Amino acid sequence: MDTIVLATNNKGKIKELSAMLEPFGVTVKALSEFPEIGEIPETGDTFKENAFIKARAVAEITGLVAVADDSGIEIDALDGRPGVYSARYAGEECNDHANNELMLAEMKDVPEEQRTGRYRCVMAASAPNGEEIDTDGAYEIRVGHGYKGDGGFGYDVIVIDPEFGCHVAELDAEVKNKRSHRGKAMQKLLKLWPEFWEKAQR
């Protein structure tokens, strides 16, 4: 069975992407299985730059094809913030709860019609021989006024899927995978995968 490395330690992402790659007979290893890699600094100004920084570093060190994504949330009323800083929105040592609290506080007086935004994701695959592909996806959301649901991760507990009218954390995992920014980017990646994989083996 073919093995790739998913350049993340986020259990939620690993579970989502493993399920999507299963039909291709691909085993997904997590970054945690390669402790020698250590922390990869995300120094890019865009999601695409950060995704490739991670994918290239992991492919080079492991000698395996690496898939990385960089994703975040862009809120229109906050001029597109927090964007690439979504994971450390409330500071370098923050966690999901601190990030969510800050966003709810910043959005406190924003009227309903202006609470729009989107999750955005860029996914990159890099092979040790230099072959690369990248795709992107977006998931339109609205910022809610509090917490609901216990699924998903990150900002899912405070943002609403306008079409379903519920918090993203309340959606069934399979439904979320199809609608999410990461799911959309992954679906595009899967379409390119057979050709990429063939070239990656040369």
> Which one of the listed residues 2, 45, 69, 70 is annotated catalytic?
70
Where residue 1 falls among pLDDT bands split at 50, 70, 90? low
Report CA-CA distances (Å) from 193 to 62, 107, 120, 129, 188.
20, 40, 21, 16, 9
- pLDDT, residue 182, reads 87
Span 69-95, pLDDT tens digits: 999 999 999 999 999 999 999 998 889
Does 70 qualify as catalytic in the annotation?
Answer: yes
Average of per-residue pLDDT values in the chain: 92
Where residue 12 falls among pLDDT bands split at 50, 70, 90? confident
| Domain chopping of the chain, boundaries | 2-200
Span 137-177, pLDDT tens digits: 999 999 999 999 998 889 999 999 999 999 999 999 888 88
Residue 192: CA count within 13 A, CB half-sphere: 19
Longest dimension (CA), the chain: 56
2-200: CATH topology is Maf protein (3.90.950)
Collapsing DSSP states into helix, strand and coil, what is residue 154? helix
